[in-house]
Chain A
Amino acid sequence: MNIIRSTFGALLAGSLLASASVAAEGAQAGKKVIFLGADDICEYCAVYNDQIRKLAAEKGIDLEVVTNKFDPAQQATQVDQAIAKRPDAILLWTIDGTALFPAMRKVQRADIPLLLTDVQPDKAREDLWVQYTGGNYEEQGSKSAQLLINALEAKGKPLEGGVIMITGIVGQAQTISMTKGFTETLADLAPNLEILGAQPGNWDTGTSTQAAAGLFTKYGDEIVGVYAAEDIMMQGVLIAAERAGLDPTEMAMVGGGCEPVGIKNIKAGLQYGTVLQSPVDEATYAVQSIVDLFNGAEMSKSVYVPHPMVTAENVDEVCQPWPTN
């Protein structure tokens, strides 16, 4: 079923991109676009940044990449700088889902088209941007809950007991959406699975190790499943489980992103599954969004990258290795 979903998703995404490309005709060539994104300090961001540079160059887009170290105040200043340069469009990976609304209003007042990527702010303000392309975080959280249930069933365990969560940075839009999707779906599909506790792992392996260690100490044998919103955070959970003397193969371990470390852990049997979010897909969609903007294509407000569920059965088909320089 997962294979069918992922293949269907990939085919759908491919056909969408192909049809849009036909309409492109190169009006984007030579257009000045400023991309305000995240720093290469995060591996996902580094792959994204490399891909968007490469893909934009292929399309003839004059793309200027400006990154920052996850500081919304700095990014708001970078928006001011970008407006001063009067580009043809701004592509924004908003470091904080809501803190950039005032900056987005400035972009709107400056009459510069704004495209968003990776982080989708509150849709109530979508009048501020032309299009968002990237992940659907609520869907990811929901599919992670489904995977956790599948994992317990695959291990022949009842759908009851305690679950712990390792989340992203508290208050971030994507963290809130993922948590909402996970908790609501889990409550719907397996009401006897109780979320015992949640701690922020801040998208970081070390922080996640400490967070999971505390939860393992507190809840120990009550835990039947762990949801970490990203595979690098699940890596921290696995380290903490080993230190606590717990066998991860006895629990339902679900990560997110289909990142290299997640692929390794899934193949090793330490992690049951993950949900794909590819930086290559996101960069591809973002560049297509720029192409569509300058070619007058009809643009919907939200275009999501595919998020197929991934287990050991389909990991090699769905999760492609991240390109390296």
Chain B
Amino acid sequence: MKTLAENPLLALRWLLLLGMAVIFTAANSYFPAAGNIFALGESFALLGLVALGLALTILAGEFDLSGGAMVAVSGLIMLKCGADNAVLGLLAALAFGGLVGLFNGIVTLKLGVSSLVTTLGVMILLSGFAVWLEGGQAINFENYDLTDAFNMDWFGVLSPRSVITIVLFVVTGLMLAFTRMGRDIIAAGSHRKAAGMAGADVRGAVVTTFVLSGLFAALAGALLAITLGRASSTFGANLLLQGASAAILGGVALSGGVGRPFGVAIGVLVLAVLNNGLGLIGASSPAILLLNGGVLLIAVLAGGAPATWLRARLA
């Protein structure tokens, strides 16, 4: 009970996740099937990387709006540069993502403008760049051996993409918990001035979160392009909102400094399970949208007075 007392909201999210899993299993016996868990992992992999990068910037007291557009651009770069050599395409996509993240961080700090403004501009630029790269043509990936390799299942339920995402969540969590950079990122989002005066590398921490956000979104786009065998300027359009929802569901405070990758992973899983389960039972798109909004509202509202009440009861 001590854990519940320390973090009742995390417990609530676990309960929400487990409750949904029980309900969907009761509603459709295919929910716990290996093939469906594999599908869940694929959803987790795509949304997870974008949500993780976005959550890092929020943790540092900023916000990166360019993640969704980066998914589209990096997918196109992956296939344009990697038609003959997939590794080259992947490196080009990651390099682009990292550089755009670096640009976001430096411009935000140097010009002293809100990162919302900086990344909004970059998001629009990236969207235009994606359409230009696409050039009105279908950009396909003919290396189906590699596509099949990335679509293969490990132990029936995992894919290379979902494993990569899980590993990055773990590594990022360890980085935040055990490295100076991690502590600086949290400090930058908590009390930036005080952290700076105490010797924390606030600027380095902020830039690092933008670079990581760009890298994670680029990786998500490149892996999506490989697994679909296709890239398009329209891909990733909904990921920004979903990523922000997952981060908030996962306990990341928009004010900065609060939240951890483990919580974000739970937030991503909540959305993935909700959408997967509703799709499995044949819910209509309006119903799925309404329930997504409903779950987000419940999770956010639960962070107010109910959480205080729960904490007091369990302490």
> Do B148 and A171 have beta carbons less than 8 Å apart?
no
Report yes or no: B285 in contact with A67, Cβ–Cβ below 8 A.
yes
Q: Given contacts A39-B285, A96-B230, A101-B144, is CB(A76)–CB(B42) below 8 Å?
A: yes
Interface residues of A in 141-183 (CB under 8 A from B): 169-173, 176
Any chain B CB within 8 A of the CB of A71? yes
Write out the residue numbers on chain A whose beta carbons fall within 8 Å of the beta carbon of B137.
171, 176
B280 smallest CB distance to A (angstroms): 6
Q: Judge whether A40 is part of the interface by a CB distance below 8 angstroms.
A: yes
Dominant SS among interface residues on chain B:
helix
Distance to closest chain A CB from B27 (angstroms): 14
CB distance from B294 to the nearest CB of A (A): 18
B144–A81 touching, CB < 8 Å: no
A102 and B30 contacting across the interface, CB-CB below 8 Å: no
- Bound Cα distance from A73 to B138, whole angstroms: 16
CA distance A40 to B287 in the complex (A): 12
Residue A102 contacts which of B131, B228, B275, B282 (CB distance < 8 angstroms)?
B228
Give bound CA distance, A74 to B229, whole Å: 14
Query: Could you give, for residues 136-148 of chain B, a 1 whenever the CB lies within 8 Å of some chain A CB and a 0 otherwise?
Result: 1111100010011
Q: Are the C-beta atoms of A84 and B39 separated by less than 8 Å?
A: yes
Interface hits, B128-160 → A, CB 8 Å: 131, 134, 136-140, 144, 147-148, 151
Instruction: Name the distance in Å between B133's Cβ and chain A's nearest Cβ.
Output: 11
B39 surroundings in chain A (CB, below 8 A): 77-78, 80-81, 84
Q: Which listed residue, B42, B144, B230, B276, touches A99 by the CB 8 Å rule? A: B230
Determine the chain A residues whose CB is within 8 A of the CB of B52 once the complex forms: none
Q: Is A66 an interface residue (CB 8 A)?
A: yes
- Contact A81-B228, Cβ < 8 Å, known A40-B285, A67-B284: no
Closest Cβ of chain B: how far from A108's Cβ, in Å?
11
Q: Does B208 contact A (CB under 8 A)?
A: no
Q: Is B227 an interface residue (CB 8 A)?
A: yes
Known: A39-B285, A80-B42, A171-B232. A105 touches B144 (CB 8 A): yes
Contact A105 B148 (CB under 8 A): yes
Q: Is the CB of A40 within 8 A of B139?
A: no
Given contacts A80-B35, A99-B232, contact A73 B46 (CB under 8 A): yes
B171 at the interface (CB under 8 A from A): no
Beta-carbon contacts under 8 Å, B258-315 to A: 275-276, 279-280, 282, 284-285
Q: Is the CB of A65 within 8 A of B232?
A: no
Q: Cβ of B172 < 8 Å from any Cβ of A? A: no
Give the residue name and chain of the B residue nearest to A71 (CB).
Answer: B238
Contact (Cβ within 8 A) B38 A170: no
A-B pair number, CB within 8 angstroms: 101
Q: Determine the distance from Cα of A101 to Cα of B34 in the docked complex, in whole angstroms.
A: 22
Mark each residue of chain B from 101 to 140: 1 if its CB lies under 8 Å from any CB of chain A, else 0.
0000000000000000000000000000001001011111
Q: Is A267 an interface residue (CB 8 A)?
A: no
Residue B234, interface by CB 8 Å: yes
Q: A176 and B138: CB pair below 8 A?
A: yes
Residues of chain B contacted by A71 (CB below 8 angstroms): 238
B190 at the interface (CB under 8 A from A): no
Determine whether the beta carbon of A81 is less than 8 Å from that of B233: no
* Alpha-carbon separation in the docked complex, A71 to B230 (Å): 13
Nearest chain-B residue to A169 (Cβ)? B234
Is the CB–CB distance between B276 and A81 below 8 Å?
yes
Residue among A39, A77, A169 making CB contact with B42, cutoff 8 Å: A77
A64 and B280 CA atoms in complex are apart in Å by 10
Residues of A54-107 whose CB lies within 8 A of B: 64-69, 71-74, 76-78, 80-81, 83-85, 96-102, 105-106
Cα distance A40–B286 when bound, in Å? 9
Of B46, B134, B279, the residue contacting A66 (CB under 8 A) is B279
Interface presence of A1 (CB below 8 A): no
Residues from chain A with Cβ under 8 Å of B211 in the complex: none
> A101 touching B229 by the CB < 8 A rule?
yes
Q: Is the CB of A102 within 8 A of B227?
A: yes
Shortest Cβ distance from A213 into chain B, in angstroms? 18
Q: How far is the CB of A320 from chain B (nearest CB, A)?
A: 26
- Cα(A172)–Cα(B230), bound, Å: 11
A residues near B224, Cβ cutoff 8 Å = 73
B30 touches A85 (CB 8 A): yes
Report B35 CB to chain A, min CB distance, Å.
3
For window 25-66 of B, CB contacts with A under 8 Å fall at: 30, 33-36, 38-39, 42-43, 46
The answer for the CA separation of A80 and B159 in the assembled complex, in Å, is 12
Q: How far is the CA of A83 from the CA of B37 in the complex (A)?
A: 12
B284/A80 in contact, CB under 8 A: no
Chain A residues whose C-beta falls within 8 Å of the C-beta of B238 in the assembled complex: 71
Whether B235 contacts A73 by the Cβ 8 Å rule is yes
Closest B residue to A80 by CB, please name it.
B39
A4 in the interface (beta carbon within 8 A): no
| Across the A-B interface, the 10 shortest Cβ-Cβ residue pairs | A84-B35, A80-B39, A99-B230, A99-B228, A84-B33, A84-B36, A39-B285, A102-B147, A77-B39, A98-B230
Q: List 6 additional contacts besides A81-B36, A102-B229; criterion CB under 8 Å.
A: A76-B42, A76-B228, A81-B279, A85-B30, A171-B134, A176-B138
Using CB atoms and an 8 Å cutoff, list the residues of chain A in contact with chain B: 39-41, 64-69, 71-74, 76-78, 80-81, 83-85, 96-102, 105-106, 169-173, 176
- A sample of 15 cross-chain residue pairs with beta-carbon separation below 8 angstroms, ordered by A number, consists of A64-B282, A73-B46, A74-B43, A76-B228, A77-B42, A77-B43, A77-B276, A78-B279, A80-B42, A84-B33, A84-B38, A84-B39, A99-B232, A101-B144, A171-B233
